[in-house]
Homo-oligomer: A and B are copies of this chain.
Amino acid sequence: MRRIAPDRDQLLGIVAEVFREHGYEGASLTLIGEATGLGKGSLYHFFPGGKEEMARAVIAHIDGWFEDNVFVPLRDAVEPLAGIGQMLEATDSYFRSGRRVCLIGAFALDESRALFAGQIGSYFGRWVVHLARALERSGHPPGEASELAEEAVAAIQGALTLARAANDLDVFSRALRRQRMRLGLPAKI
């Protein structure tokens, strides 16, 4: 009987955090081992493909979370603005209001991109496309919807960088608030 490690989700979450903090090159197997409490024996048992497979699994795991909590609401919400609101809530929650950085965005920047270009492009591409469609459904003409969507996703990525650089979480909150307004949502209480 195929048995999935009962907490593979948790495991991938921990590994993700190591990649997030140190980047692909900087995340050594030693660091991953310390963070997860697993030795190399276990790590290579779960990820025979080694570090690259770990990273690939982590990206897929994050991708799945966004699919469920961001893309699906954008696509399926009867009221498109409600879906967009859920996207912003989920985004704020996922990035812990700016404490966390976007692993996939970080991978996009350096040469590790070469290994994961497909996954990276798909993640951001779907984010932009689903948001653009929701914006169209909420009344924006297609071209404008695309621009707004691209701008919103880029604004989130940039705000993560800037918040981290300035060591000021408010940078991220302000960026999300501006996007709320720009995308047609009422100011938050």
Q: Which residues of B contact A156 (CB under 8 A)?
A: 158
In the complex, residue of chain B having the shortest beta-carbon distance to the beta carbon of A18: B111
Number of A residues with CB within 8 Å of any CB on chain B: 45
A153 close to B164 (CB less than 8 A): no
User: Is A183 interfacial (CB 8 A cutoff)?
Assistant: no
Which of B113, B175, B178 is close to A164, meaning CB atoms less than 8 Å apart? Answer: B113
Chief secondary structure at chain A's binding surface: helix
User: Is A85 interfacial (CB 8 A cutoff)?
Assistant: no
CA distance A123 to B167 in the complex (A): 13
Q: Which residues of B contact A164 (CB under 8 A)?
A: 108-109, 113
CA distance A124 to B123 in the complex (A): 27
Q: Which residues of B contact A120 (CB under 8 A)?
A: 165
The verdict on A162 contacting B167 (CB below 8 Å), with A22-B110, A25-B23, A26-B110 known, is: no
A161 close to B165 (CB less than 8 A): no
- Pairs A–B under 8 Å by Cβ, sample size 24: A23-B109, A25-B26, A26-B26, A26-B110, A101-B110, A105-B165, A106-B106, A106-B109, A106-B110, A108-B165, A109-B160, A120-B165, A121-B165, A121-B166, A128-B162, A150-B171, A151-B155, A151-B175, A154-B162, A154-B171, A155-B155, A155-B158, A157-B162, A161-B161
Which residues of A come within 8 Å of B, CB atoms? Answer: 21-26, 101-102, 104-106, 108-113, 117, 120-121, 123-125, 128, 147, 150-151, 153-162, 164-167, 171, 174-175, 178
